[in-house]
Structure 1
Amino acid sequence: MDNSGIYVGLDIGTTSIKVIVAEFVKGQLNIIGVGSERSDGLSRGVIVDIDRAVDAIKAAVDQAEQKANIQISEVTVGIPANFLEIVPCNGMIAVGDGSGKSKEIDSTDVYHVTKAALVQKLPPERDIIDVIPNEFTVDGFDGIKDPRGMVGVRLEMNGVLYTGPRTVLHNTVKCVERAGLVVKDTIVAPLALATQALSDGEQDFGAVLIDLGGGQTTAAVVHDHKLKYTYVDQEGGKFVTKDISVVLNTSLENAEKIKRNFGYAASYLASKDDVFPVEVVGKADTVQISGEYLSEIIEARLTQIFTKLKTVLEEIDALQLPGGIIITGGVSALPGIKELAEDIFETNIKLFIPQQMGLRHPSFTQSIGLVAYMTKQSEIEKVVKASLEGDISVIEDNVEDDTHEQQVDYNKNTEQKKQKVKKNSSFEGIKNFFNTFFD
Structure 2
Amino acid sequence: MNSPAAPARRPRRRPEWAGRNYTLLTAAAVVTNLGSHGALIAAAFAVLQFGGDAGDVGLVAAARTLPLVLFLLIGGAVADRLPRHRVMVAANALNCVSQAVFAVLVLAGEPQLWHMMLLSALGGTGQAFFNPAAEGMLMSSVSGEQVSRAFALFRMAMHGAAIGGAALGGALIAALGPGWVLAVDAAAFAVAGALRGFLDVSHIRPRKPGGGLLSDLREGWQEVKGRPWLWAVVAQFSVVVAVVGAAESVYGPLVARDELGGAGPWGVALAAFGVGTLGGAVLMMRWKPRRLLFAGTLCVFPLAAPSAALAVPLPVAWLAVVMLLSGVAIEVFGVSWMTALHQEIPEDKLSRVSAYDWFGSVAMLPLATALAGPAEGLFGRRESLWGCAALVVLVTAAVLFVSDVRNLTRRTKQVAGAAATPSADAEGAVGRLG
TM-score, structure 2 normalization: 0.25
Which structure shows the bigger proportion of residues in helix conformation? 2
Of the two, which has the highest radius of gyration? 1
TM-score, structure 1 normalization: 0.25
